[in-house]
Amino acid sequence: MRDQISWVVTCSVKPGKFEEFKKVVRALVEDTRKEPGNLAYDYNVNADETIVHIVEIYASSEAIVSHVTTVFALYADRFVDCVDVDSFVVYGSPNAAALEILDGFGSTYFTPFDGYLIK
């Protein structure tokens, strides 16, 4: 079983909010970069800046709990002021504490059954 857990979040940008969202994301990315256990944190936008995909990879469930309860918590209100979360798809096997948090985002879960992840 892999310890790493990843997800892809799809967000719709609220009208007129993309520039503000970029400012929130810039600060959030810089703070997240300093977190132990965060392996990837990548924001992507479509051509008309209306849909954002966020790809995150964490080394463990503990890293997820730490990120969401400390760093993301600082930005959550401003984040949701700019976007609506349309889907939150999680890959891996989060523990009970991480599941409790991820369930709050309305997550859908996929468990690996074959393949590999280079460490």
2-34 pLDDT, tens digit per residue, is 789 999 999 999 999 999 999 999 999 999 999
pLDDT of residue 107: 97
- Rounded Cα gap, residues 93 and 70, in angstroms: 21
**Mean pLDDT along residues 91-118:** 93
Which pLDDT score is estimated for 5?
96
| Mean pLDDT score, 57-77 | 97
- pLDDT beyond 90 at 115: no
What is the distance between the alpha carbons of residues 90 and 16, in angstroms, rounded to a whole number? 29
Can you give the pLDDT at residue 118?
74
Q: What is the residue extent of each domain of the chain? A: 5-110
* 104 has pLDDT over 70: yes
The tokens describing 110, both together, are 């996929």
Mean pLDDT of 77-97: 97
Out of 3.40.605.10, 3.30.70.100, 1.20.1560.10, 3.40.50.2300, which CATH number does the structure's domain 5-110 have?
3.30.70.100
Amino acid (1-letter code) at residue 93: S
Distances (CA, A) of 97 to 15, 56, 64, 68, 93: 34, 18, 9, 11, 11
| pTM of the full structure | 0.93
